[in-house]
């Protein structure tokens, strides 16, 4: 498939002979003019509220804007490239002249994703700079990279969830060609690469779709960020589902992480998520889609056609057990080993009852292990703490080793967050770079939000100001820690190698997995044919607990992993046996 064989309905599209068709949707506007060079060109309005114009001899990189009933100029909400940011003129992106390859996210054996933020992964914080990290990540043993959102957002730095455009990559990280180079380099390293996309809201600054088409949103549903995207409108649906096909075709992504799908409201007969999955797979048949959704709803996989769901129950129960946190969404977890065993056995803890967020939950019957993604931490669970500490700095090294063994040997999919592999003691904080007025509101809102956490009620000084440049700088990865904590890298590499090479552990089979608890010890037995593996883990220690009979394949207290050298369950530890 070439770049010209299919192009999105809205926005600039290349035609034969160097012509470009410009098309927008602005149903409440009577007159639209395209500003291209020194020309103001009237556009033709159709009955459905779209405006279009075919213009000859357009050069790649040409800047353009629009006047709406004489008001403006405004950039194109369907822009493919914003070289000067959300408020600057849009640019016509050169047509893609070659097919881009893909690498399927593994299915059929135990898979591991590495979540990263491009602005903090390296000192430079660019697409190109991230390429030099790829050999390290390939040696680590993950198979898939997950980029936090890169859709154009306001300011110099951002988590990415304030995106204002559906089709344009963030210029703060580099050019569209730089992004293609990163994706291509990942594929050459043997890594799949998926993109985090946000279809539940648009950011508060620079989203000019509000001016072009207020009908894009509805107040019939509410989200934490205001009115919801109105998926009852065909123009809205098309804008969104075609964007997934665009990212796959134009940049080579192998799939998507769909942000906060519980905040996507669509009463349509065919849910927008099903259309999103279908559209992505029109560009690449094996495109992989995983949803962030706290409702524990099997329909996301069984009905809407997604591959997996980020299953929070495992993380929440483990964190309550380790740290005793009971604030906010942790309140529905007891922090007992039995909860963790149930998550491993069944995928979710809360089924047919109330989830940690109060959702209904549905049974996991019939869902394979690969329908669930487990983690010890992610950008939310690290960054949505006032000090932004990684788990490794909040627990003992022995607990961290044991928890890491537990995570990386489950049959479900797993995800790591940047820095986790070397037990980072640094921070990943929430940071923004909004204008002064909006920035003040964000800072105040952050303070209100964290009043529900006891730690920040008692110590408000621990909550960092997201608008401070130091907050962003402190979130940069400390690569010197990888050398200082070589024991942790060694542990993660060996565990990830076991996930892909061991004849039992490499198979994501929930039916041949049994998890149970004796006292404080979690046991997980996995079988394949005549082979059997038994993992015994305790995160707090069990006085008098004996190591089960069997050949020890690995234990978390080996000296090469920074431990005392003797396998133990009497204090925090993990032992894997054949």
Quick one: DSSP state of residue 286?
T
Split at pLDDT 50, 70, 90, the class of 75 is: very high
Specify whether 446 is located in the same domain as 568: no
The answer to whether residues 459 and 472 belong to one domain is no
Establish if 369 belongs to a structural domain: no
Q: Residue 329, class by beta-carbon neighbours within 10 Å (0-12 exposed, 13-18 middle, 19+ buried)?
A: middle
Lowest average pLDDT, out of 212-221, 235-244, 281-290, 360-369, goes to 360-369
- Its domain, for residue 46, covers 13-91
pTM reported for the whole predicted model: 0.96
**pLDDT averaged over every residue in the chain:** 94
Last residue of a domain, one of 57, 91, 125: 91
563 and 442 together in one domain: no
Q: Is the pLDDT reported for residue 229 higher than 90?
A: yes
Neighbours of 387 (CB within 10 A): 16
Which of 524, 529, 527, 519 minimizes the C-alpha distance to 576?
A: 524
Looking at the fold, whether 452 and 534 belong to one and the same domain comes out as no
Whether 2 has a pLDDT exceeding 60, the answer reads no
Using alpha carbons only, what angle is made at residue 420 by residues 415 and 424, rounded to the nearest 5 degrees?
A: 165
Residue 412 shares a structural domain with residue 484 = yes
**Any domain includes 242:** no
Assess contact for 63 and 39: CB atoms under 8 A.
no
Indicate the number of domains in the chain: 3
44, 76, 91: which is the final residue of a domain? 91
Q: With bands split at pLDDT 50, 70 and 90, how would you rate the model's confidence at 418? A: very high
| Mean pLDDT for the stretch of residues 168-186 | 98
The pLDDT of residue 365 is: 79
Say which CATH number the domain at 70 has.
Answer: 2.60.40.10
Q: How many CA atoms lie within 13 A of 469 on its CB side?
A: 2
Of 148-157, 178-187, 333-342, 458-467, the range with the lowest mean pLDDT is 458-467
* Res 360: pLDDT: 61
Residues 447 and 578 in one domain: no
Q: Return the percentage of the chain with pLDDT > 90, whole number.
A: 85
- Indicate the residue among 32, 67, 91 that finishes a domain: 91
SS3 9: coil
Active site residues: 259, 292
- Same domain? For 526 and 406 the reply is yes
- CATH code: domain of residue 495: 2.60.40.1180
């Amino acid at each position: 498939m070439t770049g010209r064989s299919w192009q999105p309905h809205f926005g600039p599209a290349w035609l034969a002979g160097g012509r470009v068709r410009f098309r927008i949707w602005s149903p409440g506007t009577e007159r639209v003019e395209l500003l291209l060079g020194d020309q103001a060109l009237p556009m033709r309005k159709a009955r459905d509220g779209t405006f279009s114009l075919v213009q000859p001899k357009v050069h790649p990189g040409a800047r353009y804007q629009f006047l709406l009933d004489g008001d403006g100029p405004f950039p194109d909400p369907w822009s493919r490239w914003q070289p000067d940011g959300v408020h600057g003129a849009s640019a016509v992106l050169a047509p893609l002249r070659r097919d881009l390859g893909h690498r399927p996210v593994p299915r059929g054996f135990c898979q591991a994703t590495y979540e990263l933020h491009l602005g903090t992964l390296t000192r430079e914080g660019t697409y190109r700079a991230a390429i030099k990290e790829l050999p390290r990540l390939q040696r680590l043993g993950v198979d898939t990279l997950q980029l936090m959102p890169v859709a154009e957002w306001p300011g110099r730095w951002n988590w990415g969830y304030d995106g204002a455009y559906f089709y344009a990559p963030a210029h703060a990280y580099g050019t569209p060609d730089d992004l293609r180079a990163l994706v291509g380099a990942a594929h050459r390293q043997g890594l799949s690469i998926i993109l985090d996309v946000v279809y539940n809201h648009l950011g508060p600054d620079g989203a000019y779709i509000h001016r072009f088409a207020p009908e894009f949103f509805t107040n019939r549903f509410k989200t934490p960020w205001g009115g919801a995207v109105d998926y009852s409108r065909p123009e809205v649906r098309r804008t969104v589902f075609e964007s997934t096909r665009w990212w796959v075709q134009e940049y080579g992504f192998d799939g998507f992480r769909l942000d906060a799908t519980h905040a996507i409201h669509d009463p349509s007969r065919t849910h927008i998520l099903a259309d999103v999955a279908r559209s992505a797979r029109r560009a690449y048949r094996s495109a992989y889609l995983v949803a962030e959704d706290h409702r524990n709803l099997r329909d996301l996989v069984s009905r809407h056609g997604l591959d997996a769901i980020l299953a929070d129950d495992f993380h929440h129960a483990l964190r309550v057990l380790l740290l005793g946190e009971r604030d906010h969404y942790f309140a529905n977890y007891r922090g007992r080993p039995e909860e963790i065993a149930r998550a491993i056995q069944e995928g979710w803890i809360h089924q047919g009852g109330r989830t940690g967020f109060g959702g209904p939950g549905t049974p996991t019957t019939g869902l394979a292990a690969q329908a669930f993604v487990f983690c010890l931490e992610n950008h939310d669970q690290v960054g949505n703490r006032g000090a932004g500490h990684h788990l490794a700095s909040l627990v003992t090294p022995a607990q961290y080793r044991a928890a890491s063994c537990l995570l990386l040997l489950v049959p479900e999919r797993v995800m790591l967050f940047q820095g986790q592999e070397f037990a980072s003691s640094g921070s990943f904080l929430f940071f923004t770079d909004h204008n002064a007025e909006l920035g003040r509101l964000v800072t105040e809102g952050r303070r209100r939000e964290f009043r529900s956490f006891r730690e920040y009620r008692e110590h408000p000084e621990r909550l960092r100001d997201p608008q401070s440049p130091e907050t962003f700088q402190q979130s940069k990865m400390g690569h010197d820690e990888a050398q200082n904590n070589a024991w942790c890298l060694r542990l993660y590499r060996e565990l990830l190698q076991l996930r892909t090479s061991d004849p039992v552990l490499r198979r994501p089979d929930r039916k041949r997995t049994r998890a149970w608890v004796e006292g404080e010890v979690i046991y997980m037995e996995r079988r394949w044919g005549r082979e059997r593996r038994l993992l015994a883990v305790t995160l707090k220690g069990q006085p008098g607990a004996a190591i089960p009979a069997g050949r020890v394949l690995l234990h978390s207290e080996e000296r090469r992993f920074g431990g005392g050298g003797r396998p133990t369950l009497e204090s925090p530890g993990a032992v894997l046996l054949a």
